[in-house]
Structure 1
Amino acid sequence: MKNILKKNTVCLVLFVSFLFSCKDLSQLNINPNGVQPETVNPNLILPTVLTETGKAFVNLGFQDIAGVVQHTQKDAWFSGHNDYDWGGDQSWTGYYDLLRNNDLLYQRSVTLNMEFQQGVALVMKSMIFGLITDLWGDAPYTNALKGEAGGADITPKFDDQATIYAGILADLDKASTLLSKPKTAYTSIVENADVYYGGDPTKWQKLANSLKLRYLMRISAKQPDVAKAGIEKIVANPAQYPIIDDASADATMAFVGNNSGDAWPSNTVFDISGSNYRRIKMCSTLLKPMQATNDPRLAIWAKKVEIPLSVDATLPAGTDKIVNGVRYLSPDKVGATPIDTDPNYVGLPPSVSQLPSGYNFNPTPGQTSVNPHVSYLNEIYMQAKGSLLKARLMSAAEVRFILAEAALKGWAAGDAKTQYEAGVKASLTTWGVASSYPTFITQKGVAYDGTLAQIIGQKWIASWTNATEAWFDYRRTGLPALSAGYAARRKALPLRFYYMRDELNLNKVNAGAAVDKLEVTANSQSDGKNSAWSKPWLVQGTGKPW
């Protein structure tokens, strides 16, 4: 019996081996429940590229970069946000993962002759590579995304920033052409797959040309002739190069709010502890000028302080009591400690101390503090989704402020005052307070005064929740004139991200060459060249921002 079983087993093994030896191994490696890259429809890839990019922009512009440009500050888990304590190991892996998905989207669209998807993929490629070089400096570009190709070099060279920006501008030109047809000329659009514009090629073309304006202004200090010619060409040919000229064409992504992965990051719906919401406060650097100009957006973004403070010299020594919702303190209780007694809004100063949760006499300092004496963000930021809770990738306000700056330089970009005022109006429209525009634009400090400081100042305010652009503007212009706080890691704002250790170790020659091209500053000497305070090519020799 044992011999019979052995013979049958051997025969079965041989039969199975023969059966499978007749098939190509690639056939056996197909997941019957998956979609293969070689056959995937681009419309299945598109939503992932768009949603993950949208989340990446919010994770920067509402999180640590909002701290850098002093839109917000945190009073718990604050060191990266307030003090630029970034640890020297900031990874770009997630961005290159996005680019690999986007490259598959593009390649499959080319194979299937789907021009709309090709154009969208080129816009997204430009946006993501633009973000990488803006954040780090030189980066893999020409030879990037080829690690899985046969014989490919897995240690790609780093392209210089001039090459990357030139490539971005060329891709955006190509995208604008691909997206220039009426919607009826495309046969492959799936509206639900496009979470930005619902499959509208005209709006995508506007985004392509608006991004060109962004990157042309980005390089304006280093390549002014290129920037001037490029911007003037777009402005002079609006039919060929339409732009995002009103808020209805803003590039945004709404949050679905079904789970923690697709909800607004500070929501208290899925974060039951409320920690993500509770620790974010509006920075006083932003709050005070908005108060001074009666800015209607302030009430949309922040709550009034829950319990105002009042220092009353007529009170007996040692007084500290709450009466009718106001906390009264005698002067001896305050002493020399800075205090903000504004009865409406109180912001958290930038990098105010090693214990920011204790600011303004908070009775419960610490990581789980609840500070009733500093303004929280508006309650809309506790929600998982909402009409104003969007990733904001590019806006009409940004475009108008770019053109106002170009006009101020004397370039043929329209009238600077008209463009500036249109930028202010577009931002108010975005936040649902357009009716306040006629009064707001006449306020002292808002009424046009012909200065770059005012244009960039209003652009900085308008970039709320998309603070990354404000950082790049600050780096390029030194405006607004922001100062690092008391407890900041350096006495100046940072300029770039650190190259991550894995890249420095695994791609040593190419990464090392990129580091060597960084310019050491007085603020970066203790880090060496790979410092957040070293200057990349974009600001070398410009004298900016400091």
Structure 2
Amino acid sequence: MKRITLFSKALFVMALLTFSSCEDKLTELNENPNVVDPSSANPNMLMPTVMADAAKKYLDWGYGDAAGIVQHTQKDGWFSGHNHYDWSPTDWSDYYNQLRNNDFLYKRAVALNYKFHQGVALTMRAFLFGNITDLWGDAPYTEALKGDVSDDLIRPKYDSQEVIYKGIIEDLKAASALFASGDVTGYRTGYDVYFAGDPVKWQKFANSLLLRYYMRVSAKLPDIAKAGIESIYTSGVYIKTSGEDAAMDYAGGVAGNAWPGAAEFNTDPSEFRRRKPAKMLMDQLIATEDPRLKVWFQPVYVRWVADPALATPVDQFIRKNGVIQTGTVSLTDAQFLTETKAGNKFTRHYNPNTFTVAVDNREYVGVPAGLIDPSSFNYNPTPGQVVQNQHVSQLSETYRGSKGGLLKARLISSAEVSFILAEAALKGWSVGAAETHYNNGVKNSLDTWGVGSSYATHILKNGVKFNNTLAQIMEQKWIASWTSAIEAWMDYRRTGLPAFKTGPAAPENVLPVRFIYGDNETNFNNANSVSALGKLEENAHTKIRGKNSQWAKPWVIQGTGKPW
């Protein structure tokens, strides 16, 4: 028995040693050699991901559905969300995923005492949290990104917009101070996709974002806004020319790095052709002979021609260089492109005395907001999505591309900054002359889109020449926000300008003011999201969804009487 016991003990010790050895090997095998050790991560490697993802997301909204909100564009296919504000709950996880990466960047920069990288992380933190609170309202902020600290913080509380906006301002002030030191210790060439490691340009970016957010809260925190904007103007450190814009070029190569909807990555070109210029923007550009019109949009493929001598009320078929093309109602998009590039002109005649349908016979035509059937607009003979509407303009051929030239994700521009200062001057704040800043805003936008040589004549046009009104400043700022429509939406929300009108298919007769909190929040962070919902202001337009509605007013516009 004693021998058996000793043998058993020996086996147990051997087994234990074997298990320990296996455990060591398992631990060794479970260490993924492809994952960066957090304690040795290089912050340079993190910057391009944070910066590129933030820029692409901002452009996706500004060129996408936010452009529908502010009537830069309308869609004639898959259009209800774009044209009618028919929205469902919208998830914000993309933003918080970006913020987690950015938080890692900041912590590594602090650990290494890299001031430049700290400044970048603080600026991007402010930009991303700014997007979140701008679009949704109250949101997790002080307890966000801390789920690894405590189980309690897996369901973070929602901070008020006031707290978040004040935090954004403090982060940007801290970032500006870091960039002012000029210290770029640790930066490696090629990892900054905005400004190539230039701390002077980064400080201008941070200060320009400060101008944006000071103006954002100017109705609620006027003293803070006034002092902040005056201080930055006095410093002279902010974006002043189009060459300083905070913008990112698209790399192309794959769809994820290309301009959204690039033709080379879309087997179905309907995504491009369903996005049309909105009538409100088009009419404004035409009225002032704006040189940006031909940069952004192209003429209709088939122009209407009034012909009182026509024997029938309207041509059944299109005409090529004046000759009826019997049997041809329309061509495909590709065919029209080939034909028009070869110099051929297409028309369709109507007799204004016998044809009772109102048609737009201009060379450039936009789609009115919120139509019940936008694909039929302007007596389109091929409604639906199979063939494009030949009687409505499409976006410029530029936007079929994937990279290069004008295809940039622009986070903030010199035009926006100039219009902010023009508005501040109109308020009587000490920032110089409103007309000077307004003129700079128009010029900077024309420069951005490659038509700056037209400035001297354009600025004197009726409707463009400065008339000392906020309405005109906001109108030109709205035009200049093309592809950056979120900012135009935020401006409308706090000023009610431009005076947008919804279309007949919109469920409400006013524009929405926020996104609907996503289902993940209402399902898994219910107590905190319910608390945040309680702070939203219901009104006559929230009857369909109640407080979690796109028409429920967040703190930043409560009590202002804006935008409606």
Q: 2:381 is matched with which residue?
A: 363
User: In 1, distance between residues paired with 2:22 and 2:358?
Assistant: 78
User: In 1, distance between residues paired with 2:355 and 2:87?
Assistant: 34
The equivalences for 1:292-331 within 5 A come to 292-320=287-315, 321-323=317-319, 324=322, 325-331=346-352
Select the residue among 21, 40, 43 that pairs with 1:19. 21
State, as a whole percentage, how many aligned pairs show the same letter.
Answer: 51
How far 1:23 sits from its partner (Å)?
Answer: 7.4
Q: 2:370 is matched with which residue?
A: 351
User: In 1, distance between residues paired with 2:33 and 2:312?
Assistant: 78
Note the alpha carbon deviations across 1:460-518, whole angstroms, 9 max, x for none.
00000000000000000000010101111221111000011220121111100110111
Select the residue among 268, 272, 286 that pairs with 2:267. 272
Select the residue among 217, 220, 223 that pairs with 2:221. 223
How far 1:95 sits from its partner (Å)?
Answer: 0.5
User: Taking structure 1 as the reference length, what is the TM-score of the superposition?
Assistant: 0.94
User: In 1, distance between residues paired with 2:17 and 2:52?
Assistant: 48
SS of 2:41's partner is coil
CA gap of 1:383–1:92, structure 2 versus 1, over 3 A, is same
Give yes or no for the alignment of 1:186 onto 2:181: no
Note the alpha carbon deviations across 1:342-381, whole angstroms, 9 max, x for none.
1x1001111122x211111212111323111100100010
User: In 2, distance between residues paired with 1:534 and 1:338?
Assistant: 37
Note the alpha carbon deviations across 1:56-79, whole angstroms, 9 max, x for none.
011100000000000001111111
- The amino acid across from 2:154 in the alignment is I
Give yes or no for the alignment of 1:127 onto 2:127: yes
Which structure has the larger Rg?
Answer: 2
The equivalences for 1:384-403 within 5 A come to 384-403=402-421
Give yes or no for the alignment of 1:213 onto 2:211: yes
SS of 1:391's partner is strand
User: In 1, distance between residues paired with 2:151 and 2:371?
Assistant: 53
Give yes or no for the alignment of 1:258 onto 2:249: no
User: In 2, distance between residues paired with 1:20 and 1:33?
Assistant: 22
User: In 1, distance between residues paired with 2:413 and 2:31?
Assistant: 43
Contact 2:314 2:355 in 1 (8 A): no
Q: 2:234 is matched with which residue?
A: 236
Tell me, which stretches of 5 or more residues in structure 1 are unaligned? 1-8
How far 1:186 sits from its partner (Å)?
Answer: 2.1
How far 1:319 sits from its partner (Å)?
Answer: 3.4
Contact 2:249 2:409 in 1 (8 A): yes
Select the residue among 461, 464, 471 that pairs with 2:489. 471
Contact 1:158 1:514 in 2 (8 A): yes
Select the residue among 199, 218, 240 that pairs with 1:245. 240
Q: 2:340 is matched with which residue?
A: none
How far 1:304 sits from its partner (Å)?
Answer: 1.0
- The amino acid across from 1:430 in the alignment is T
The equivalences for 1:110-189 within 5 A come to 110-182=110-182, 185-189=183-187
Select the residue among 194, 200, 203 that pairs with 2:201. 203
How far 1:15 sits from its partner (Å)?
Answer: 6.1
The equivalences for 1:46-57 within 5 A come to 46-57=47-58
Q: 2:100 is matched with which residue?
A: 100
Note the alpha carbon deviations across 1:495-542, whole angstroms, 9 max, x for none.
000011220121111100110111111111121111000100111111
SS of 1:179's partner is helix
- The amino acid across from 1:237 in the alignment is S
SS of 1:308's partner is strand
Q: 1:70 is matched with which residue?
A: 71
CA gap of 1:465–1:166, structure 2 versus 1, over 3 A, is same
Q: 1:5 is matched with which residue?
A: none
User: In 1, distance between residues paired with 2:155 and 2:20?
Assistant: 41
How far 1:331 sits from its partner (Å)?
Answer: 4.5
User: In 2, distance between residues paired with 1:57 and 1:254?
Assistant: 13
User: In 1, distance between residues paired with 2:482 and 2:187?
Assistant: 32
Contact 2:184 2:199 in 1 (8 A): no
How far 1:322 sits from its partner (Å)?
Answer: 2.9
How far 1:338 sits from its partner (Å)?
Answer: 3.8
CA gap of 1:16–1:31, structure 2 versus 1, over 3 A, is farther
How far 1:433 sits from its partner (Å)?
Answer: 0.8
Contact 1:306 1:375 in 2 (8 A): yes
SS of 1:300's partner is helix
User: In 2, distance between residues paired with 1:334 and 1:81?
Assistant: 32
User: Taking structure 2 as the reference length, what is the TM-score of the superposition?
Assistant: 0.91
User: In 2, distance between residues paired with 1:91 and 1:448?
Assistant: 41
- The amino acid across from 1:348 in the alignment is V
- The amino acid across from 2:80 in the alignment is S
Tell me, which stretches of 5 or more residues in structure 2 are unaligned? 1-10, 323-345
SS of 1:361's partner is coil
Q: What is the number of residues matched between the two proteins?
A: 528
Q: 2:536 is matched with which residue?
A: 518
How far 1:12 sits from its partner (Å)?
Answer: 10
Contact 2:140 2:156 in 1 (8 A): yes
Contact 2:99 2:125 in 1 (8 A): yes
SS of 2:411's partner is strand
Contact 1:42 1:105 in 2 (8 A): yes
Give yes or no for the alignment of 1:422 onto 2:444: no
User: In 2, distance between residues paired with 1:219 and 1:334?
Assistant: 52
How far 1:330 sits from its partner (Å)?
Answer: 3.1
- The amino acid across from 1:210 in the alignment is S
Q: 1:491 is matched with which residue?
A: 509
User: In 1, distance between residues paired with 2:144 and 2:150?
Assistant: 14
User: In 2, distance between residues paired with 1:530 and 1:125?
Assistant: 26
Select the residue among 391, 400, 410 that pairs with 1:373. 391
Note the alpha carbon deviations across 1:210-239, whole angstroms, 9 max, x for none.
10100000000111111111111111222x
- The amino acid across from 1:513 in the alignment is S
- The amino acid across from 1:402 in the alignment is I
Question: For structure 1, which segment, 304-313 or 108-117, has the greater mean C-alpha deviation from structure 2 after superposition?
Answer: 304-313
Note the alpha carbon deviations across 1:70-105, whole angstroms, 9 max, x for none.
000111111111111112x10001100000000000
